[in-house]
Amino acid sequence: MTTPVAFTAHLQSFLESLKVLGYSPQTIKGYGSAVELFFAYLGSVGIANLLQIGSSTLRQYQHWLQERAYAGWTIATRLQGLRRFFCHLERNQALLVNPCIGTKPAKTPYRLPRTVLTTAEARQVLDTPSTETAVGLRDKAILEVFYSSGIRLEEMARLTVEDVDCKNGYLRVVEGKFAKDRVVPLGQSASDHVRQYVEQVRTKWMQTQTGKALWLGSHSPHLPLKSQAIAVMVRRYGRLSGLTKRVTPHVWRHTCATHLVAGGANIAYVQRLLGHVSLRTTQIYVRTTIPELVATHAQTHPRNQEPTS
């Protein structure tokens, strides 16, 4: 059964609204997939009109997902996408009654970051680019900024020379997630490497083009680096470093936050640094450090060194 044209039009309107609100491409794609899967379910049970959808439809859909052995996290995120979709329809008066009203949101289980680099592993990757070459200087600066600031890939790709203040050690993220601006600290090492890249590399590459983009491609006419190119570069240095872990821009984000929390940073500070709207999102990094804290406690606390009776 094909998806009704009206459903498709509502989905496109929903996705466009998410773009306007500043949601990341990954989030928009995820919400779109959630709605498309729901449309597939509606087709399987013969529902072809929005007016036929009620709270019982959502309960039956959740049961349908459970029968197909979807993980709890996946079900929760699918239903979250649907809730936002129906709120959008209600705001635009495409529905008289929101079918989500009266239904309890599915609890999203805590999911710890799959990959976090240790301090030694982070240093190993950071030391991989050759600073004897122009490309190496640029790539080294990008990796240092990822580790120091924890910014997102899209935020990194949008940086301009005006967004970075190496002298005072901070950078400005313009229109981050949810279209919010924020200023984040840039450590001394990252500041030094960005300054070196700008003075020794970017200045020369800018002779063939105009613009304010901070990160430029290595081949003439040295156009601004796209987020996909940055992601490929990060993964490549992860492999070249010899690590078996898959190193991505988001792994650097997790690593930055985890190391800050492990070092004693206030969780509210980390929340502001990462640009999280909810403190609950940031708290996963506290949970990530718990095993390390337990191991350290076992090794160092005086009571753990005393013989048991």
Exactly one of 250, 254, 269, 280 is catalytic; name it.
250
What is the distance between the alpha carbons of residues 115 and 56, in angstroms, rounded to a whole number?
39
**What one-letter code names the amino acid at 295?**
A
Bridge-based pairing state of the strands 164-165 and 182-185: unpaired
Q: Cα separations (Å) of 42 from 48, 88, 125?
A: 7, 19, 48
Q: Cα separations (Å) of 46 from 1, 57, 115?
A: 8, 12, 42
Exactly one of 84, 193, 253, 254 is catalytic; name it.
253
What is the distance between the alpha carbons of residues 301 and 294, in angstroms, rounded to a whole number?
10
**What one-letter code names the amino acid at 71?**
A
- Could you tell me which residues are beta bridge partners of residue 184? 171
Cα Rg of the chain (Å, integer): 23
Q: Which two three-digit tokens encode residue 28?
A: 């928009």
Exactly one of 177, 202, 222, 259 is catalytic; name it.
177
Sequence length of the chain is: 309
What is the distance between the alpha carbons of residues 304 and 308, in angstroms, rounded to a whole number?
9
**Do residues 1 and 43 touch, judged by C-beta distance below 8 A?**
yes
Q: Is 285 one of the annotated active-site residues of the chain?
A: yes
What is the distance between the alpha carbons of residues 105 and 51, in angstroms, rounded to a whole number?
21
Exactly one of 182, 235, 276, 287 is catalytic; name it.
276
Q: Is 297 one of the annotated active-site residues of the chain?
A: no
Exactly one of 152, 193, 222, 254 is catalytic; name it.
152
What is the distance between the alpha carbons of residues 95 and 106, in angstroms, rounded to a whole number?
22
- Could you tell me which residues are beta bridge partners of residue 173? 182
Exactly one of 23, 31, 61, 285 is catalytic; name it.
285
What is the distance between the alpha carbons of residues 222 and 191, in angstroms, rounded to a whole number?
22
Least Cα distance to 48 among 15, 6, 98, 86 occurs for 6
Q: Is 222 one of the annotated active-site residues of the chain?
A: no
- Residues involved in catalysis: 152, 177, 250, 253, 276, 285
